[in-house]
Each structure stands twice: as structure tokens, then as C-alpha cells.
Amino acid sequence: MSDRVSSDRSAWRTSLFAGVLAALFVAVPAGFLIATGNKNGRAAYDATAYHARFIRALAEQFPNFDLSNPLTATTPGYHLLLACVARLGASSIESLRLASMAIGCIFVGSIAAWLSRRVGLRIALLFVSPLAGSIYVVGAAAWTLPDNLAWALVSWILFLCLREPARARELLLASLLLVALVAVRQIHIWAAAIVWVSGLSFALQSRGRSEAVGGGLSVLAKMLGFVLATVPAFAVLVLFVRHWGGLTPPRFQGELQGVNLATPAFMLLEFSLLAIGFLPWIAPPLRTAWRERRWILVTGALAAIVLAAIPATTLDVAAGRFSGFWSLIAKAPVIAGHTSLLMIVAAPIGAVLLTALLLGLSPRSRAVFGVALLAFAAALTATFYCWQRYHEPLLLVVLPMLCALQRERPTRASWWQLLFPLILAGILAAITVGGLRSDPVAPDALPAPSHFAPGDSFLPAPAGQ
């Protein structure tokens, strides 16, 4: 018993150490940007023109908040949190940016801590380095953007729902985190599917341990219980939809609502490119899957070709297909003026790699990840813009988690294998640096004219950032 306690303590210390070190991966670049007053790039503009101005307005309105037409397309949970920080005396823009940096550090640190318990300290830090180098993570940490808080909540729900064996209290905690998640970013209601599939697994697992008559009814009742546990999150969503008259505040409804059928293929292309950093850990399950379940890989590749061929998959700003890897897609040949050749090639590769990783998991983990990724893709397809920043952070969370949960856990690696995540992290860091070389954002930058509203209480007073 004492050996087990000692082992648990050692694992927790390793996790804590991994979390702290990974947090520094974010704190150093974000802290540098804050200390130097950097105001370059998309994140700086969005924070200056929208989020910081809204946070300050909420701090002034405290506690009688006006949420009827907020200056953000998301639900206001993050902004309310930072408004409370401002009310506590940390109202300067630098203080708010530091609070946002702390959220980014907690997000990346928690991923590293979780990974370290499965693959060890060194590989966990390498696995999380691409995430820490992503411009979308660094940008949200250096400026007042809600992205990292939302991704952290998604990750923690995944952690709880992946526990084996499943436990009811952890699934209920995941349902509570889902409420917070929807309050921060309404599109992430898709994460309810993670709780449902994990709840079904728990119900089936409970039946397997029980010899009681009527076990089938017990499974149904338990599953219904976990579905009901997610009702508060849907209630939050419904509350805002009724308040706004739509899924977004009125000022954004003419722009963001719509469908983009290119999203699934684009996500698979992203997966194939980001997977380069994890190839040494993807290769073993890929070989096994090709040897034992080749037909599943072929089916996945064919499905991806269909997803890439049916919708238009070329760069098109008016259709919401631009920025990020879309600039790379624009350089590739186009088939019949409709389909990018790069998309036709990369999407099936992404599907094959993802399928191989899923096949290498336990049945329960496979179900959780499979449903999560399908629900995520469906939710993002129901959004007009197919932007890389909507997908990349989660893919950089899921990729190392999939590698870490393979039946043969990768606790050791040779020096050349360790280069792969470092190379990917270096590429993403270079993209981040490049994104910070754009023209500085004016300290009184205003939102796009289409986002002004009659009697706007947010404008035109500058945020002072």
C-alpha cells in the first residue's frame, strides 16, 4: 500500500512539474509581448476593437450587465470573468492581459500534466510544444481573447470522460464544466456528445458488473441521467438564443450564421499537416491497422476524398475560406476550378492517420474521441467561416492525446524521434513570429463598420489599449 501511495505522489509531482514547465512555454512569449507593448496582428486588433472594450464596459456596469447586444460574437463568460478581475483593482489593460496569459498557461500546463502521467515528463513536454507555439494559443494568451479558456474547458471535459473505468461523479463534473464552456463560447455545445457517449459507456460498464434482473432498464435510466445532466448547458444556450434572437448577438447575425461544407475536408488537411510532428508515434498503430484492418483505412480515405471533392475547396474570401492553411491551398493546382488538388491529396492522408490512431485505442477511448471529433466537425461546419483558428488548438490537443493513449504507450523515444515535435513547434513558432510583424494596431481601433449598432454604448470611446 505504501509503495502505491509513494508512486501516486511521484506521479503527481511529475505532473505538476510538467504543468509548470509547459506553462512557461506560454508565459515567456506572451509575457514578452505584454512587457514590450506589442500591438501587432489579428489577435491584437480583435482584443483592442472588441474584447477589451467589452470587458471594460462590463466592469463599469457591474453588477447590472447589459448583454443584449455585446461587442463579441461569443457568449460573455470570459469577459465577465475578466470584468470581475478589473473590479478587484486590476483594471489596466496590462493587468487584464496578464490575467489572460494566466488562463493560457493553465490551459497548456494542464495538457502537459495529463500527458506526463501517460508518456513521461520529457515526451509530454515535447508533445505540448507545438500547442504552445501556435499563434492562436500565444495570441489569446498575450491579448484579451476567450479562446484559451474555451479550449481548456473542452480539454478538461475530455480528461474526465476518458477516465477508465468511468465514474459517475467525474461525468457529472464534466456536465458542470460544459455549462461553463457554453457560457464562454456557445458553439462548443457539441461537447455534450462527449458526456453522452461516456455516460453510455458507464451505463454499459455498470451492467457488466451487476447481475440484477432488469439490467437493461438500469442502463437506459443511467444513460438518461447523464443526458439530463447536460440540460443546464442547453438551458444556457437557449437563454442567450432567446435574448439575442439567434445564435449570436444581433450585430453579428448577418455575418457569422451559415454553413461551410468545406470544413470537414479542411480539418482533415490540418490534421495531416500537424500530424507530421507526431509521425514516430503514429507509425506503429498505422502499420498495425494496415496489416489487420486495411479495409477500414481505405474506407476512411475514400470518404475523405468525397468530402474534399463535393464542396468547393479553393481559396475564396467571400465564401469564408481564407487565412491560415488556405494561403497554402491557394498555391496548389485546382481541378475544374472547384477542387484543390492539395485538399484531394491531404484530406485522405489525414483520414488514414486519424483512423489508425483511433483503431489503436481501447474501445471506450475510441468511442469518446470518435464522437467528439464528429460532433466538433458538425458544429464547425454549421459556421460560415472555415478558419484555421477555429480548429488548430483542439487538433494540437487531440493529436498528442491520441498518441499517448495507444495500447503501447510511448514512454521512450530516440533522439531523432524527438526532433519531429520540435520541428513542428519551430514551424508554428515561426508562423507566430511572422504574424506579429504586421502593422501595429491603433490604440483606439474600432470594430468593423458592419458591427456598429444604433445607440451603441461601447462606441466610439476607445478602449485605451
Percent helix / strand / coil, the chain, rounded to 5: 70, 0, 25
Give the count of alpha carbons within 13 A of 324, CB side only: 21
| Average pLDDT, integer, range 424-450 | 91
Alpha helices, DSSP H, located in 40-92: 42-46, 52-61, 77-87
CB atoms within 10 A of CB 176: 14
What's the total number of domains in the chain? 1
Burial of 40 (0-12, 13-18, 19+ CB in 10 A): middle
Using CA atoms, how far apart are residues 323 and 451, in angstroms rounded to an integer? 21
Using CA atoms, how far apart are residues 98 and 294, in angstroms rounded to an integer? 49
Residue 314 belongs to a domain: yes
Terminal Cα-to-Cα distance of the chain (whole angstroms): 56
Provide the pLDDT for residue 367.
96
pLDDT beyond 60 at 211: no
Q: What residue numbers bound the domain in which 362 lies?
A: 258-406
pLDDT beyond 60 at 210: no
pLDDT in tens, 12-38: 899 999 999 999 999 999 999 999 988
Consecutive H or E run containing 24: helix 2-35
DSSP, res 47: I
DSSP, res 148: H
Residues in the chain: 465
Using CA atoms, how far apart are residues 400 and 394, in angstroms rounded to an integer? 11
Structure confidence at residue 222 as a pLDDT band (50, 70, 90): confident
Residue 262 belongs to a domain: yes
Asked if residue 448 lies in contact with residue 255, where contact means CB atoms within 8 angstroms, the answer is: no
DSSP, res 257: B
pLDDT beyond 70 at 393: yes
Which residue is listed with cell 488562463?
Answer: 103
**pTM for the predicted model, two decimal places:** 0.95
Residue 358 belongs to a domain: yes
pLDDT beyond 80 at 388: yes
- Which position has the higher pLDDT, 272 or 203? 272
φ/ψ of 347, rounded to 5, equals: -60, -45
φ/ψ of 76, rounded to 5, equals: -95, 20
Which residue is listed with cell 437493461?
Answer: 216
Structure confidence at residue 10 as a pLDDT band (50, 70, 90): confident
pLDDT in tens, 141-179: 999 999 999 999 999 999 999 998 888 899 999 999 999
Residue 156 belongs to a domain: no
CA–chain centroid gap for 462, Å, is 31
Structure confidence at residue 207 as a pLDDT band (50, 70, 90): low
pLDDT in tens, 182-195: 999 999 999 999 99
Bridge partners (DSSP) of residue 215 are none
Provide the pLDDT for residue 462.
46
Bridge partners (DSSP) of residue 131 are none
Residue 34 belongs to a domain: no
Structure confidence at residue 375 as a pLDDT band (50, 70, 90): very high
pLDDT beyond 70 at 391: yes
Bridge partners (DSSP) of residue 340 are 334
Provide the pLDDT for residue 214.
47
Which residue is listed with cell 472588441?
Answer: 50
Which residue is listed with cell 472547384?
Answer: 338
Give the count of alpha carbons within 13 A of 18, CB side only: 28
Average pLDDT, the chain: 92
Residue 411 belongs to a domain: no
Using CA atoms, how far apart are residues 441 and 458, in angstroms rounded to an integer? 18
Q: Give the type of residue at 244.
A: W
Asked if residue 408 lies in contact with residue 282, where contact means CB atoms within 8 angstroms, the answer is: no
Residue 296 belongs to a domain: yes
Consecutive H or E run containing 412: none
pLDDT beyond 50 at 463: no
Share of residues in the chain with pLDDT > 90 (%)? 80
Alpha helices, DSSP H, located in 275-384: 279-292, 294-309, 326-329, 341-359, 363-381
| Average pLDDT, integer, range 436-454 | 87
Task: From residue 178, give the alpha-carbon distance in Å to each of 193, 229, 230, 271, 357.
Answer: 10, 10, 7, 25, 26
| Average pLDDT, integer, range 222-227 | 88
Residue 30 belongs to a domain: no
Provide the pLDDT for residue 6.
59
